[in-house]
Structure formats: C-alpha cells, structure tokens
C-alpha cells in the first residue's frame, strides 16, 4: 500500500559544454526537499484489483514510516516535476520487518479542477525495495518457496493541497513490492499497502537553476 516563477535567460558556452541559467520563481512546493509521515494497511486484493475495488479486503498488517523527496528537475514546457523518493517504514501487526525503498517519481500537476482543490498525481514504476525479513504473506505469493528481501518498488499517489503554492499536501497512495513476474529472484507475488500521509515541502531558496 502505500506514499514538491521574474524570468531571465542567459547562456554560457564553455567549448563543447554549455549551460543555460534561468531565473525561475517557482511555487514553493515545486522544487527542493519534502518530508512526509505516512501509515498504511496491507490489502489482500491484487495490486490491480486494489486500484478500483470497492470491496477491499484487509489483512491485520500495517505500515508506518517516513518518506524524503527531492525534486531535482521541473520540465519547462509541461506541468511535470521529476523526484527521487527515499522511504523507511516499519511493519507491525502480523509482520514486524523494516521496509526500505528508493524510487524515481514523476509528478503531474495540472488538472481542470485545480482552482478548487489543487491535485497532483505521482507515479514511479521501477524502484528498489528491501525488507529485513520475508513476511508470511509475501512468502505465500512468491511462487519460489523462499521469497525475496529485495524486490521492485512501485508507487502511485494522489496528492491534494489548498493551492499550488502551499507547502503542505495530503496524499493517498499504493506501496507495492513485486518480483515483476519472476524477473527478480524468480519471485512472482509481493505485497501492496494502501497508505495515506502528510507531506511538508522545504523549497530551495534560489532564483537560478540549470537546464
């Protein structure tokens, strides 16, 4: 289950290397660092079913943790940010493992209703996730008899905040581990925690970035 505009332009050429510096006063939540705290619950549905099912089945297993996000690039022509997320979480209930993940994320920031409630969508399809032990749930669905501590990390999020300039956002998300159909350590199944969290952005105080 599972969980950041004065315009000036100058160019500098250094032989074969060149950089363009843009003075770009961005909304606070669009760049820099962000930290979130989140909690979630293990769904017994498959990952695909968990995206649309209105009859979600839950296990007595939970996840709570901290996520650090760094926004390293904002596309100049599209409402898109590129992020890196690093997550540390603890499972409790049936399971007691620690869960650590890192994943590149893409944030889409433009929806037609954003003047009423600012909504962003974040997605990361390929990341790395490591747990300190194999849970009974993951072992049951692994398909190889032993599971894997290291698996792919897939993350989806819907983020909501009062305005684009707000430093705070609330989100709901999917924290999914899998072996990508046997590609990783011959592991097929995994686990999906559906989570919710609160993120606080800490924008970089600079007027210049390079593209």
- Establish if 1 belongs to a structural domain: no
- pLDDT of 31 reads 62
- Establish if 171 belongs to a structural domain: yes
- Establish if 12 belongs to a structural domain: yes
- pLDDT of 142 reads 86
- pLDDT of 59 reads 86
- Residues lower than pLDDT 50 in the chain: 1-30, 208-211
Q: What is the CATH number of the domain that holds 60?
A: 2.40.160.20
For CA atoms 158, 126, 102, 106, give the dihedral sign: negative
- pLDDT of 46 reads 78
- Establish if 40 belongs to a structural domain: yes
- Establish if 102 belongs to a structural domain: yes
- pLDDT of 205 reads 62
- Establish if 2 belongs to a structural domain: no
Domain that holds residue 86: 7-210
Q: Structurally, how many domains does the chain consist of?
A: 1
- pLDDT of 151 reads 95
């Amino acid at each position: 289950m599972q969980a950041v505009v004065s315009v000036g332009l100058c160019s500098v050429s250094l032989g074969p290397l060149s950089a363009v510096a843009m003075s770009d006063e961005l909304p606070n939540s669009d760049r820099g660092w962000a930290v979130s705290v989140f909690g979630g619950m293990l769904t017994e549905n498959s990952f695909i079913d968990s995206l649309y099912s209105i009859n979600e089945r839950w296990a007595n297993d939970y996840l709570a943790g901290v996520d650090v996000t760094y926004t390293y690039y904002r596309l100049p022509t599209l409402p898109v940010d590129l992020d890196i997320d690093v997550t540390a979480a603890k499972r409790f209930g049936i399971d007691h493992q620690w869960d650590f993940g890192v994943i590149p994320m893409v944030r889409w920031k433009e929806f037609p209703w954003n003047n009423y409630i600012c909504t962003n969508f974040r997605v990361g399809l390929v990341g790395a996730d490591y747990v300190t032990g194999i849970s009974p749930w993951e072992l049951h669905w692994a398909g190889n008899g032993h599971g894997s501590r290291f698996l792919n990390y897939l993350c989806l999020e819907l983020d909501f905040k009062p305005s684009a300039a707000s430093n705070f956002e609330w989100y709901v998300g999917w924290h999914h581990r899998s072996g990508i159909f046997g590609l990783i350590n011959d592991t097929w199944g995994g686990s999906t925690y559906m989570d919710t969290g609160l993120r606080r952005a800490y924008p970089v105080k600079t007027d210049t970035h390079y593209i």
